[in-house]
Structure formats: structure tokens, C-alpha cells
């Protein structure tokens, strides 16, 4: 259901059908009298109005099913990407020969935690965390957090051949 014109047409058909039934009920409740239509025309209108509502219901079901399937696929891609990112972190941390404490600090730093927050979580002093982050930056060959994070972002954006892939702007 990637044709927006078809979706819009079915939505408008369903809206017209709903208006037909609701106006019929309201005119009966309020007591508005109109010139009676021939029963064949009235039956024809009711059948088509009901058919329009059923088409809308079926379309809604199909679109819901497509949306659920797309959500599941996105969740699977996110799960795979998350796993790949954690594998990339672990491999890089091993390549840089980080100590277990430095690995913890590096992970917290990549997550965006501040030095006081990291110190609090690790029950250490801020000075210790600063010394560990400096050691991490030196081992990774970067000058700060932003460069450390960019190492991983660049790796995630590269394809199998090592070429940097930029997001497709035409899809936006």
C-alpha cells in the first residue's frame, strides 16, 4: 500500500460513507424530514456506503499489518546494529589494550556521561576518572570524547569494502 492517492481515495470514500450513515441517523433523531428517495436508490446508496466502510476496514487492517511488520523489521535491524556496535567496542577496547576499569570508563564516556557521573557510578574520584580517560584517549590515538565517539561512528558508516557510506538523502 505505497500509493498515497489510493489510500486517500479510500479514506475519502470511507468518510463519505460514514457521513451518509451518521446523517441518516441524526436526521431521524432530530426529526428532519426530507423528500423520500425511491427505495431502489436508497438500497443502492446503503449497499455502496456499507461496501465503502468494509473497504476502509480491510485497508486499515492491511496497513496495520504492514506497519507491525515494518516495526518488527526495524526492531531486528536495531538489535543487530546494537550487537554490532557492542562487538565493535569490545574489539577496539581489546586492540587498544584497555584495562577493565578503562573499558568501563570508556563505555560510560561514549554513552555521554560526565566525569562526575562516571566517578559516582564507579565509586572512584573524579581525578581517577580523568586519568583513566586520558589513558583511553592516548591508547586510542584521539584527543577527546568527540574524536573517540567519531571513531566508532565512522566504522559503523563504512561498508564491507571500507568505503564510507553516507545516508541516502533522496529517501528523506
- Mean pLDDT taken over the chain: 84
Long-range contacts of 42-48 (CB under 8 A, 24+ apart): 45/20, 46/20, 48/17
Q: How many angstroms separate the CA atoms of 11 and 35, rounded? A: 29
What are φ and ψ of residue 168, in 5° steps? -70, 110
pLDDT for 121:
95
pLDDT, average across residues 40-50:
86
Each residue's pLDDT tens digit, 65-121: 988 999 998 888 887 777 778 888 888 899 999 999 999 999 999 999 999 999 999
The pTM score is 0.51
pLDDT, average across residues 4-31:
83
pLDDT for 170:
54
pLDDT of 161 > 80? The answer is no
> Look-up: residue for cell 460514514?
18
pLDDT for 172:
47
DSSP 158: B
Report the percent of the chain where pLDDT is more than 70. 90
Residue 28 CB contacts under 8 Å (≥ 6 apart), including other chains: none
Q: How many angstroms separate the CA atoms of 1 and 4, rounded? A: 8
pLDDT of 123 > 90? The answer is yes
Amino acid at each position: 500500500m505505497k500509493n498515497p492517492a489510493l489510500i486517500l481515495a479510500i479514506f475519502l470514500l470511507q468518510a463519505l460513507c460514514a457521513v451518509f450513515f451518521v446523517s441518516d441517523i441524526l436526521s431521524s433523531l432530530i426529526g428532519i424530514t426530507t423528500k423520500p428517495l425511491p427505495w431502489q436508490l436508497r438500497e443502492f446508496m446503503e449497499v455502496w456506503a456499507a461496501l465503502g466502510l468494509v473497504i476502509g476496514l480491510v485497508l486499515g487492517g492491511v496497513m496495520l499489518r504492514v506497519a507491525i511488520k515494518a516495526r518488527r523489521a526495524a526492531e531486528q535491524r536495531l538489535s543487530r546494529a546494537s550487537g554490532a556496535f557492542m562487538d565493535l567496542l569490545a574489539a577496539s577496547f581489546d586492540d587498544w589494550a584497555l584495562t577493565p576499569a578503562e573499558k568501563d570508563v570508556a563505555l560510560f564516556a561514549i554513552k555521554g556521561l560526565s566525569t562526575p557521573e562516571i566517578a559516582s557510578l564507579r565509586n572512584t574520584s573524579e581525578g581517577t576518572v580523568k586519568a583513566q580517560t586520558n589513558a583511553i584517549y592516548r591508547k586510542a590515538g584521539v584527543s577527546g570524547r568527540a574524536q573517540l565517539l567519531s571513531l566508532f561512528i565512522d566504522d559503523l558508516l563504512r561498508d564491507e569494502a571500507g568505503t564510507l557510506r553516507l545516508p541516502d538523502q533522496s529517501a528523506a
